[in-house]
């Protein structure tokens, strides 16, 4: 089996842009609290998700084998709270020899995962119960799930052009900007 990075040495840098979106399904009680107060569990889920997404987009090449390091020139992450979860969008731009779709997907996934971690212990509907874990020890856990998982993670647009084309996240309303 041969493993090698694709050779892009002969390719000229060109303007590239990619946008990815995804959804973290969360129970409505937790989302109601999050939308009312703005913070829950470990803090501000939206702010943590955005910072994580931006950082992960910049460093995707360090964690995904054979992904080229790309000089990313712009990243924007937006979060929208909905009654049944958190929708997120990540946009990145570069002038490079290869695309940035994997970078924005990695950033989006990491951002949603950070939001999940932030809100996982905040639900008031959680009823603690004792269970036996895989090592045979009694541990306390929450009997009801607050987060159902991540869905619809995908690249929704990508651009490869001689000229700069800005698709932006303009139609993706971020309704979390006023929270603490």
Cβ contacts of residue 58 below 8 Å, gap of 6+?
Answer: 72, 75, 103, 107
Q: State the pairing for strand pair 85-96/138-142.
A: unpaired
Q: State the pairing for strand pair 138-142/72-82.
A: unpaired
DSSP letter, residue 5: -
Mean per-residue pLDDT for 63-87?
A: 95
Question: In this predicted model, which residue has the larger pLDDT, 22 or 36?
Answer: 22
- Which pLDDT does position 163 carry in this prediction? 79
Give the integer Cα–Cα distance in Å for 99 and 39: 35
pLDDT band at 15 (very low <50, low <70, confident <90, very high): very high
Q: How much of the chain exceeds pLDDT 90, in percent?
A: 59
Q: How much of the chain exceeds pLDDT 70, in percent?
A: 85
- Which pLDDT does position 102 carry in this prediction? 97
Select from 85, 76, 82 the least CA-distant residue to 104. Answer: 76
DSSP assignment of 155-178: EEEEEEESS-----STTS--TTTT
Mean confidence (pLDDT) of the chain = 87
- Which pLDDT does position 180 carry in this prediction? 54
pLDDT at 115 over 80: yes
pLDDT band at 164 (very low <50, low <70, confident <90, very high): confident
pLDDT at 28 over 60: yes
Cβ contacts of residue 137 below 8 Å, gap of 6+?
Answer: none
pLDDT at 38 over 90: no
pLDDT at 125 over 60: no
Q: What are phi and psi of 74, to 5 degrees?
A: -160, 140
- Are 115 and 45 in contact by the 8 Å Cβ rule? The answer is yes
pLDDT band at 134 (very low <50, low <70, confident <90, very high): confident
DSSP letter, residue 69: P
Give the H or E element holding residue 53.
helix 45-63
């Amino acid at each position: 089996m041969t493993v090698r990075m694709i050779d892009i040495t002969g390719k000229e840098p060109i303007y590239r842009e990619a946008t990815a979106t995804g959804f973290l399904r969360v129970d409505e009680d937790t989302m109601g609290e999050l939308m009312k107060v703005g913070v829950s569990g470990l803090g501000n889920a939206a702010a943590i998700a955005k910072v994580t997404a931006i950082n992960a987009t910049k460093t995707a090449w360090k964690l995904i084998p054979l992904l080229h390091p790309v000089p990313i020139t712009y990243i924007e992450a937006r979060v929208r709270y909905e009654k049944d979860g958190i929708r997120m969008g990540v946009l990145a731009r570069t002038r490079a020899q290869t695309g940035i779709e994997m970078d924005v997907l990695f950033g989006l996934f990491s951002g949603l995962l950070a939001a999940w971690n932030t809100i996982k212990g905040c639900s008031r509907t959680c009823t603690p119960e004792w269970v036996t874990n895989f090592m045979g020890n009694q541990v306390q856990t929450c009997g009801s799930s607050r987060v159902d998982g991540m869905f619809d993670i995908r690249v929704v647009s990508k651009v490869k052009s001689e000229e700069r084309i800005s698709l932006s996240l303009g139609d993706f309303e971020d309704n979390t900007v006023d929270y603490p």
